[in-house]
Structures are given as C-alpha cells and as structure tokens.
C-alpha cells in the first residue's frame, strides 16, 4: 500500500499528466436534426430571396430623400397702401375668390375720379370742335353765296363794258363812262378771285376743326384708359384668394403699410399635394412616368400610400442651385448626383388632410415595367459593335 501511494515530494503536474484524457462529447441525434433543419430553412430562404430579388426586388428603387410638396401661392398686393382690413386668420381654409385683405382704397378712388374728370374735359373739347365744324360749314355756304353774287356782278360789269365799247367808239357815249365801266369790271373780277380764295380758306378751316375733334377724342380715349387702370387699381385694393387652400405664414396686420409685391401670406392647396423624391442618377435607368410608387410618410407610422411617377426634372438639383458647380477644374471629385422626380399622390381626401408640405417620406418605385429596355439597348449595342467589326 505504501508503494502505490503517491509520494508527497512528487510534483502535482506529473500526476495530472499521467491521468487518462476525458472522452469527447458528441452531438445527439436530435441536435443534428435541428441543425440540418435550420440549414435547410436558411438555404431555402436564401433561394426564395434570390428568386424574388431577380424577379422583382432588383427593380424596386427606393429613397428617403423625399418630401411632401405643394405649389403654394404667395399673396401680395398690386397697389401700395395701408392695410385697412384683414378678413382671414392663421391656418384658415379659404375658397377661390374669398376676400383676404383690403388696402385703403381712397387714393385709388381719387385717381379714378381724376380720370373721369379728364374724360369729361376731353369730351367737352371734342363737342366744342364739332360745333365749330358746323359753324364753319355755315360760313362756307355764306362764302359760296357771296362768291356766286360776285361772279354775277363780274359778268354784269363785263357785259356793260362790251355794250359801251362800240358806243364810245362811235361817240354816242363818252370814253370816261367806258373807263368807269372797265374799272368796275376789273374790280368785280378781283372780287370774284378774292371770294374764291375766301371759300378755299373756309374749307381748310374745316380740316383744322376736325383735327381738333380727333384730338379731343384721343384725349378722351387716353383718359378712359387711365380710368380703366384706376378702376383696376381700385378693384385690386380688395385682395381675393386665387385658389382653394389654407392660409399659412400670415404676416399682415391692420395698419401695416404694404408695398407693391410685399408678401402678406401664403395659400397652400392641400388638395393638390405631391411628392418630390430625389433619386440618385444610378437609379433612373428603368424609371418611367406612370410607374407605381409605394409611399411611407414618417408622420403616418405604418401606413403605406400609393402614387404614380408623374415627371422628371430637366436637370439635377445642382444645376438649379444658386451657385451651380463648375467641374472644369483641376481638383474635380466625382459625386453621384440626384434628380428630382415628381410623384403624384393617390390618396383619399381624408388622408390628404393629415399631410402638409415639408413632411419626410420614403418612396419605392416599381420599375419592372421597363425591365426589357436595358436588354433592348444592350442588344442594339451588340449589333452596332458587330456592324463596326
């Protein structure tokens, strides 16, 4: 027994080395079945995902760089003046044609009255010129009558000279009498010429008065144009809503001076909302107008809306920025550009009431309807390459 005991001086590690190794633990049959089942599920799931991706998933283009938008209308006055009345409050729904703001109309009324007075003056001048034309026609008739009388007298005097000339030659009448008759005949002939010139002068004065009539009519027409402009300005003092919408960002108050073009408020057409999604240029190859879109609004958690691709911007967002990039430099860095895409929202009026411009959304466009376009382009490229060879 003493020999079989371990000596106290024998190292402890040597005893462990001499001990037999522990047997390796093996998986049970049930565990093997579970692992095989999990592997099969993963393999089948991966296969299903790959098939779905190749058939449909690869054509789904999505982005979270999208917002709800609306074509807002800025309300601004056409005429300057002090604000007399404000008919709407913040966030109030209004209809097209509904009064919003009234500018003090007294200046516009005064301008309209002044234009009306100018019309009256011009009409009076035209009437006065017409009366002068009528008077001138009477003067012409008088001058023509005088001309006819002068011609008759000249003919009579010429006849007397012709009658007295043989008598004076025979001595039956004195030559003095003949000379007097000849003098009278010459004077009568000159009177005819003078009266003829008077008739011509009176006729020319008609043209002068008719010109004055036209001038008065033109002045009246100009005054009426001024009155029309004044009436437009007078009507513009009452600012009405141009569209149906909701009042937003109202800054106008009674007593405030509003200059021409000063923004007073904005009208947001909540019934005409749409989505602007900024897709990367690498996502647009198969995107076409009319393709269906799934829309997820951050404010409506769990609700998916439907839409359609409406149109594409004619340029990237960088091209329409205040300072567009100038890439013709030595330190150019290529950056993937984004193109704004407009998406028409297909939602009920009840859903639209929950949306306002500026909300963040995530959109997914199904581009599978254009999946054959790329292959068609590739085939055309192959044919072109073969023809070049």
pLDDT recorded at residue 24: 60
What is the pLDDT of the chain when averaged over all its residues?
83
Compute the C-alpha angle 39/40/45, nearest 5°: 100
97 in a structural domain: yes
Residue 13 lies in a domain: no
**What span, in angstroms and rounded, lies between the C-alpha atoms of 335 and 287?**
21
Q: What is the CATH number of the domain that holds 207?
A: 1.10.287.620
| Domain around 169 | 106-235
Are 175 and 126 in a shared domain?
Answer: yes
Residue 91: per-residue pLDDT: 92
Q: Are both 128 and 229 inside the same structural domain?
A: yes
Q: Please say which residue of 215, 235, 255 terminates a domain.
A: 235
Confirm whether 1 is domain-assigned.
no
- Evaluate whether residue 37 is within a structural domain: no
> In this structure, are 312 and 164 located in the same domain?
no
Most confident of 165-174, 188-197, 252-261: 252-261
Q: Are residues 220 and 111 in the same domain?
A: yes
User: Is 148 in the same domain as 83?
Assistant: no
Strand-pair category, 99-103 with 238-240? antiparallel
Q: Classify burial at 219, counting beta carbons within 10 Å of its beta carbon; exposed 0-12, middle 13-18, buried 19 or more.
A: middle
Nearest CA among 147, 155, 177, 152 for reference residue 164: 177
Residues 360 and 276 in one domain: yes
Which one has a higher pLDDT value, 258 or 35? Answer: 258
Percent of the chain with pLDDT over 90: 33
183 shares its domain with 273: no
pLDDT tens for 103-134 read: 999 988 888 888 889 888 888 888 888 888 88
178 compared with 296, residue with greater pLDDT: 296
Report residue 41's pLDDT band, with 50, 70 and 90 as the boundaries.
confident
* Residue that is written with structure tokens 């009256």 in the block: 120
> Under a CB-based contact definition with an 8 Å cutoff, are residues 86 and 201 in contact?
no
298 lies in a domain? yes
- Kindly state whether residues 116 and 259 are assigned to the same domain: no
Three-state DSSP state, 60: strand
Task: Compute φ and ψ for 286, nearest 5 degrees.
Answer: -105, 5
Say if CB 70 and CB 246 are below 8 A apart: no
Which CATH number characterizes residue 93's domain?
2.40.50.100
Residue 200 within a domain: yes
Bridge partners of 193, per DSSP, are none
Torsion of CA 233, 235, 240, 243, to 10 degrees: -80
Residue 57 pLDDT exceeds 80: no
For residue range 268-315, list pLDDT tens digits in order. Answer: 998 889 999 999 999 998 899 999 999 999 888 878 899 999 999 999
Q: Give the SS3 label for residue 85.
A: strand
- Domain with residue 344: its CATH number is 2.40.30.170
Please give the Cα distance from 353 to 271 (Å, whole number). 8
99 plus 182 within the same structural domain: no
How many other CB atoms sit within 10 Å of the CB of residue 179? 13
Taking each continuous run of H as one helix and of E as one strand, the counts in the chain are: 6, 14
What are the φ/ψ torsions at residue 5 (nearest 5 degrees)? Answer: -75, 155
- Which of 155-159, 237-241, 248-252 is predicted with the least confidence, judged by mean pLDDT? 155-159
Same domain, 217 and 160: yes
Give 23's pLDDT tier (boundaries 50, 70, 90): low
Per-residue pLDDT band for 4 (boundaries 50, 70, 90) equals very low
- pTM above the 0.75 mark? no
**DSSP per position, 281-292:** GGG-TT--TT-E
pLDDT at 234 over 80: yes
Residue 43 has pLDDT above 60, yes or no: yes
**Are residues 64 and 82 located together in one domain of the fold?**
no
Total domains in the chain come to 3
DSSP class of residue 270? G
Q: Label residue 265 by pLDDT band (50, 70, 90).
A: very high
Q: Are residues 243 and 231 in the same domain?
A: no
For residue 271 the two structure tokens come to: 């019934």
Residue 26 lies in a domain: no
Residue 331 is assigned to a structural domain of this protein: no
């Amino acid at each position: 027994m003493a020999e079989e005991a371990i000596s106290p001086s024998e190292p402890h590690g040597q005893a462990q080395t001499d001990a037999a190794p522990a047997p390796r633990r093996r998986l049970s049959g049930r565990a093997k079945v579970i692992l095989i089942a999990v592997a099969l599920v993963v393999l089948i799931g991966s296969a299903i995902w790959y098939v779905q991706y190749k058939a449909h998933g690869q054509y789904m283009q999505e982005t979270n760089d999208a917002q709800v938008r609306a074509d807002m209308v800025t309300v601004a006055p056409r005429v300057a003046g002090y604000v007399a009345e404000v008919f709407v409050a913040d966030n109030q729904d209004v209809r097209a044609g509904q009064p919003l703001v009234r500018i003090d109309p007294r200046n516009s009324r005064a301008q309209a009255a002044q234009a009306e007075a100018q019309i009256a003056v011009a009409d009076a001048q035209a009437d006065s010129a017409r009366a002068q034309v009528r008077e001138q026609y009477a003067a012409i008739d008088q001058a023509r009558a005088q001309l006819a009388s002068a011609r008759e007298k000249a003919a009579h005097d010429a006849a007397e000279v012709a009658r007295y000339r043989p008598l004076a030659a025979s001595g039956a009448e004195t030559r003095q009498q003949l000379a007097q008759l000849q003098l009278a005949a010459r004077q009568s002939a000159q009177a005819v010429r003078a009266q003829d010139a008077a008739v011509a002068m009176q006729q020319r004065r008609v043209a002068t008065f008719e010109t004055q009539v036209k001038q008065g009519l033109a002045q009246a027409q100009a005054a009426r144009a001024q009155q029309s402009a004044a009436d437009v300005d007078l009507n513009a003092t009452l600012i009405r809503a141009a569209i149906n919408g909701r009042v937003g960002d109202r800054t106008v108050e009674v007593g405030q001076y509003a200059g021409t073009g000063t923004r007073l408020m904005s009208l947001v057409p909540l019934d005409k909302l749409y989505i602007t999604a900024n897709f990367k240029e690498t996502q647009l190859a198969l995107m076409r107008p009319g393709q269906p879109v799934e829309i997820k609004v951050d404010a409506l958690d769990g609700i998916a809306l439907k839409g359609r691709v409406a149109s594409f911007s004619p340029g990237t967002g960088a091209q329409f920025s205040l300072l567009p990039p100038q890439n013709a430099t030595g330190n150019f860095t290529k950056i993937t550009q984004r193109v704004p895409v407009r998406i028409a929202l297909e939602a009920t009026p009840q859903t639209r009431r929950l949306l306002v411009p500026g909300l963040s959304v995530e959109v997914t466009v199904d581009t599978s309807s254009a999946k054959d376009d790329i292959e068609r382009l590739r085939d055309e490229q192959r044919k072109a390459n073969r023809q070049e060879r």
